[in-house]
Structure 1
Amino acid sequence: MAGAPGAQATPGQRIDPRDPDLGPNVTVFGPDTPQDEIQQAMDALHAKQVDAEMSTDRHAVYFLPGTYGSDADPLQFGVGYYTEVAGLGASPDDVTVNGAIEVRNRCLGDDANPNCIALVNFWRTISNLALDVNTAGQGGCEATTNFWAVSQAVSMRRLDVRGPLSLMDYCSAGPQFASGGFIADSRFDTAVTNGSQQQWLTRNSELGGGWSNGVWNQVFAGVEGAPSEAGFPAEPYTTLDTTPVSREKPYLFVDDDGRYQVRVPAAQKDTSGISWADGPTPGRTVPITDFYIARPGDSVATINRHLARGKHLLLTPGVYDVARSIKVKRPGTVVLGMGHATLTAVDGAVPLTVADTAGVVVAGVTIDAGTVESPVLLQVGRADRSPWRDRVDTWRDRLCERSALWAAIDPRCTTGENPVTLSDVYFRVGGPHVGKVDVALEVNADDVLIDHTWVWRGDHGVEGFPTDGSEGVNGDSMRWRTNTGRTGVVVNGDRVTATGLFVEHFQEHNTVWNGEDGTVVLYQNELPYDPPTQADWTQPDGTLGWAGYKVGDHVERHRLFGAGVYVFNQNDPDIVTENGFAVPQAPGVRLHHIMTVNLSAGTIEHVVNGVGDAVPPSTSGSPEFVVDYPAP
């Protein structure tokens, strides 16, 4: 089936399916493109983007089916900020790069103290290709592996990697820290070196050569060849045989007739391994002519008109100022961002709203808070969860179960099998500019899947805060008052699943989960660095601090697998947080493999609900683990 139900031709945009106009920041290479031309272009792009952490540049680079590089002349290039690199084949093996596609440490210090780390290597993507690792021509240590030294908001999807891969760069001067990350639907024939990665989620993949080590929190779901969790916490692995709910991210490809299409994978339950082992990934294909291809500067009114008429939405690379909500209402609509396309709230707008309807997919989009406070940056489903609405939902669910006729006409009947899905959707409050929001991501609908997100209230940026000590460490006191964000994620819907939930630095509970039957596979959180005083980090009832992960007091059923809350109160190292996690005492609320850790400032007294020893600065870098809560 092609397109969303009810899709119809929309006037106003002509698209050549064999040569669509994807804007000035999209580059497409073919196997007939001279390799020196590709090398030159990729080297220039990397030089432009390697240090462009807070820039507005966005880029996507695609490779048509074929082979690039050779044993004698490998293609080797780096991937910088806001850069997407992807193959345009129907299968990852349709595009083969013989060479290296790498991210290396950034050295942020001086000659005396280079401070080479990957801790701020954010916002980049690689997907849908085969990589035959070939580092010929690189000298010494650099030739030992393909380095992918990254941290949050970086995804590796639909890859076939043949040869060594390291998730840290161990060649440059230390400390070589890294704090990622995410792999899905990928195959590796050689051991993956985790190295210094503090946490990582690998989902629905094959590790033919195994996994080399762990630091604090390494989670595997539906991964063939994953390490056992039997040695936890000495070996900090959390391993699920299958992924409870998954859907692979939509991907652009070119068919045998040269036409551009988007493959929209189907949702799956209790799966393991890659989706493309025995043929095409299960799902549906949508012609690119069924999309509205947007560019920065297009009005929201135009975008909404096309969405209302049944078009899907392709956001070409760039920054979109959004002064009124982009509204996704129709079942099955796909919103696909290219090259980390970014929506920025203007005048307190909610940049994106998604209706509670089946099959909507939002993927590859970054959403930024603006200088005027927004109530929310992305809202899924209506906020009204009144008792009357709950009764209506119960009545509807019963009709869906008992009436085939009703199930055929009501798209909400299929939300469980075809959930609203958010894939590689990232949020920022501060960083490139001042940002203000109440809640970044609010999920009110049931049966939603969140597949990899980083929800970040910036701990650093270019906003111009004084760094002379007059406003705390690196301007943190002013940041606390100016870049405001109460909560990163609020989940009110039932049966919501999150695989790869990263939420950091918000000013109260970073995540609040109020819905029943929620499941989270890997949660990572840093508490805010910047509360000026303990009084600023104390709840109205006197509780010291806000837990990094809060499950609502009324919730009876909830599951969490592999989670960490970190503390680094650099503005006032004497600040205390009572609990990293706070959950109700209910038999159906189960936490498996959770931990807290100190990054050298502040204190967390307990891991969860008074259980677990404190992590003060004297324990810096040494986690406190709880294997299961409540204890069996």
Structure 2
Amino acid sequence: MPRPFLPVRTADHRRHGPTRRRGYALLGAATLLIAGLTSLTGAAGAASAQPAVHGSTAVRPAADAADCPAQSDTPDFGSNVHVFDPSMGDTAIQSQLDTQFNQMKDTNSAQFSENRVADLFKPGTYGVEDNVGFYTSVAGLGQNPDDVTINGDVTVDAFNASDAGNATQNFWRSAENLAINPSSGTDRWAVAQAAPFRRIDVHGNLALYPASYGYASGGFIADSKVSGEASSVSQQQWYTRNSNLGSWAGGVWNMVFSGVTGAPGNTFPNPPETTLATTPVSRDVPYLYIDSAGKYHVFEPSLQTNSSGPSWAGGSTAGTSLPMSQFYVVKAGDTAETINNALAEGCNLFVTPGVYHLSETLNVTRPDTTILGIGYPTFVPDNGVNAMQVADVDGVRLKGLLFDAGTTNSQALLTVGPSGSSADHASDPTTIQDVFFRIGGEKAGKATDSLVVNSNNTIIDHIWAWRADHGNSGTVGWTTNTADNGLTVNGNDVLADGLFVEHYQKYEVVWNGQGGKTIFFQNENPYDPPDQASWMSASGVNGYAAYKVGANVTSHEAWGLGSYCYFNVNPAVNNYHAFEVPDTPGVKVHDALTVSLGGVGTISHVINDTGAVTASNTTPTNVVDYP
């Protein structure tokens, strides 16, 4: 049975009510979902007819971008990409947005469908209301956010009556690179995981909670400006990076800020806000824009160190513009073979909305390759291949991708650098941004690891690695959607900011590299261990730490970490501790907490043997500094 709802928060914003729960809306409804739904306006990418066995793919020599056969600067993006122009008229645009949203909004029918869509607005002003559903990307095509202005709202809310005002399943949707003049003065972005809000200029307030004041569980803002108040209210955890806020209000368990003008002071745990004045190293996302001649480009922002505020605050974002002639456009009909051929020829990739089955590993071997996805393009590895492997080279940029495990176990979905990688990439690191991983839910997926980072200096800037706790019928269960680890870091000097990893069956994050940093970590333990004997670590303690720093690590630092348990299959299950680190002065953890959601199961300690048992109904146990 789904666990019952507890009262929502009152409008005075002060009640830190119990918890989010995702599975309730799907129980009894999952059997109605039809696997393999066709795309909203076109077919998904087809699989190659000749699958390759794991490990059989030859790595092609790296090519220079200049070798890429010239592509079109005004490409056909396919039927799942809608490009709007002010000359179309607001009425016609609104009609198309409404029709699309009605297909993409429902938690039961759309959440695990194969619909994918992107709405792109050319520079100008639009009087529309844009409700954003599942697997939908909304983006402006200007070079700066205020080149595209929406006089209206770009909204995510608890849209369905069946959600009972709950926004905890509002996954897989995004807004980017535009300005919003909200109709009521307040834009609403009530989301859960995998729903970034980037390069947005909100001329007013921003509400991160449902209009019902129900539960929400996000979330991520970066490179944005909110002229008024940003309010979290019932958001249980949130990370904001390199932005400018008029003010901030609210917080439940874990609110984290780095490089944010207008952020609240560092007051964890009362209120539960963790604030860093700057972000140690960052490089904002590559994005598509169109020039006055109608030609498309991809802009690649420059690397920043110890930065604060939006990259465009002083004018335009610093960086380099690449013509679309250097990008191969991946769309319906492309296979692993055609994609690998484009990479081998030196092309970057622009991946359009769709579901792409991979019969062989995608190999990224050229330095400074950009792979930019819009509309949640989804790579599914077939027959146990690894989905993507990146060589130990400078400057690869991965943005806007969803890796969805296939039904035959893959060793890893994405690997950055081979084992033993040793090159220094400090001046031109690989960035992994808005890249998401899913094990089960739409299908009974299996993968030992979701993301393995072997390359030094890699920046992980907002990921969600999720072993599904709910989904289509027959896709979720302890022996059904199996996965050991969400993230394994072996490289040195790796930074993770905006790290969401949930429900894996062993250590959800394993950090073996030296000099690592994490800013914001959100985790739920697996819900479904059938008994304690099935969930015991090799060291003989109950369960597995959600975040484990390797025993040989001598330098590591992390800020703003939360781990929650909800052992609904067997509430007698216990996790000995949520965070496991070596006891050495160079390994430091700040502002960590554990919560037992609804008191279903226990976590005995927060970090190592420190912190009291977390067993009561959603009351956090906090550790401000360790050691």
Give the paired residue count. 562
Match of 2:95 in 1: 40
Match of 2:569 in 1: 571
Report the Cα offset of residue 170 of structure 1. 3.0
Match of 1:292 in 2: 328
Match of 2:545 in 1: 547
**TM-score of the two chains, using structure 1 as the length reference:** 0.87
**Is 1:170 equivalent to 2:214 in the alignment?**
no
- Among 436, 441, 463, the residue aligned to 1:453: 463
- Among 419, 424, 437, the residue aligned to 1:427: 437
Higher helix fraction (1 or 2):
1
Using the alignment, how far apart are the partners of 1:261 and 1:297 within structure 2?
Answer: 23
Report the Cα offset of residue 257 of structure 1. 2.4
Match of 1:133 in 2: 182
Please show how residues 11-410 of structure 1 align to structure 2 within 5 Å: 11=69, 14-15=71-72, 17=73, 19-51=74-106, 52-69=110-127, 75-107=128-160, 109=162, 115-135=164-184, 145-171=186-212, 176-208=214-246, 210-229=247-266, 231-383=267-419, 385=420, 393=422
Using the alignment, how far apart are the partners of 2:353 and 2:130 within structure 1?
Answer: 20
Query: Quick check: 2:560–2:590 contact (8 Å CA) kept in 1?
Result: yes
Using the alignment, how far apart are the partners of 1:349 and 1:492 within structure 2?
Answer: 21
Aligned to 1:189, the other structure's residue is in SS state strand
Report the Cα offset of residue 307 of structure 1. 1.1
Match of 1:587 in 2: 585
**Is 1:8 equivalent to 2:66 in the alignment?**
yes
Report the Cα offset of residue 611 of structure 1. 0.5
Aligned to 1:362, the other structure's residue is in SS state strand
Report the Cα offset of residue 41 of structure 1. 0.5
Kindly indicate whether structure 1 or structure 2 has the higher relative contact order, using CA contacts under 8 Å at least 6 residues apart. Answer: 2
Using the alignment, how far apart are the partners of 2:590 and 2:414 within structure 1?
Answer: 29
Using the alignment, how far apart are the partners of 1:334 and 1:540 within structure 2?
Answer: 39
Match of 1:472 in 2: none
Query: Quick check: 1:434–1:463 contact (8 Å CA) kept in 2?
Result: no
Query: Quick check: 1:322–1:346 contact (8 Å CA) kept in 2?
Result: yes
Structure number with greater Rg is 1
- Among 484, 487, 499, the residue aligned to 1:489: 487
Report the Cα offset of residue 5 of structure 1. 8.4
Using the alignment, how far apart are the partners of 2:524 and 2:203 within structure 1?
Answer: 34
**Is 1:443 equivalent to 2:448 in the alignment?**
no
- The one-letter code matched in structure 1 to 2:87 is D
Specify whether residues 541 and 271 from structure 1 end up closer, same or farther in structure 2 by C-alpha distance, changes over 3 A only: closer
Aligned to 2:146, the other structure's residue is in SS state helix
- The one-letter code matched in structure 1 to 2:222 is A
- The one-letter code matched in structure 1 to 2:204 is G
- Among 518, 527, 530, the residue aligned to 2:528: 530
Using the alignment, how far apart are the partners of 2:84 and 2:201 within structure 1?
Answer: 20
Using the alignment, how far apart are the partners of 2:608 and 2:67 within structure 1?
Answer: 56
Match of 1:468 in 2: none
Report the Cα offset of residue 106 of structure 1. 4.2
- The one-letter code matched in structure 1 to 2:258 is A
Deviations 1:349-405 (A, max 9, x none): 11111111111000000001100000000000002x3xxx7xxx4xxxxxxxxxxxx
Query: Could you list the runs of 5+ residues in structure 1 that have no partner in the other structure?
Result: 70-74, 136-143, 394-411, 466-475
Aligned to 1:484, the other structure's residue is in SS state coil
- The one-letter code matched in structure 1 to 2:164 is N
Specify whether residues 108 and 605 from structure 1 end up closer, same or farther in structure 2 by C-alpha distance, changes over 3 A only: farther
Using the alignment, how far apart are the partners of 2:449 and 2:112 within structure 1?
Answer: 22
Using the alignment, how far apart are the partners of 1:435 and 1:132 within structure 2?
Answer: 41
Aligned to 2:505, the other structure's residue is in SS state coil
Deviations 1:129-148 (A, max 9, x none): 0001113xxxxxxxx73221
Query: Could you list the runs of 5+ residues in structure 2 that have no partner in the other structure?
Result: 1-61
- The one-letter code matched in structure 1 to 2:237 is Q
Using the alignment, how far apart are the partners of 1:9 and 1:357 within structure 2?
Answer: 18
Match of 2:606 in 1: 607
Match of 1:401 in 2: none
Query: Quick check: 2:389–2:416 contact (8 Å CA) kept in 1?
Result: yes
Report the Cα offset of residue 324 of structure 1. 0.8
- Among 462, 473, 482, the residue aligned to 2:472: 462
Query: Quick check: 1:512–1:551 contact (8 Å CA) kept in 2?
Result: yes
Aligned to 1:460, the other structure's residue is in SS state coil
- The one-letter code matched in structure 2 to 1:91 is N
Identical counterparts, % of pairs: 46
Using the alignment, how far apart are the partners of 1:105 and 1:549 within structure 2?
Answer: 31
Report the Cα offset of residue 263 of structure 1. 0.2
- The one-letter code matched in structure 2 to 1:67 is T
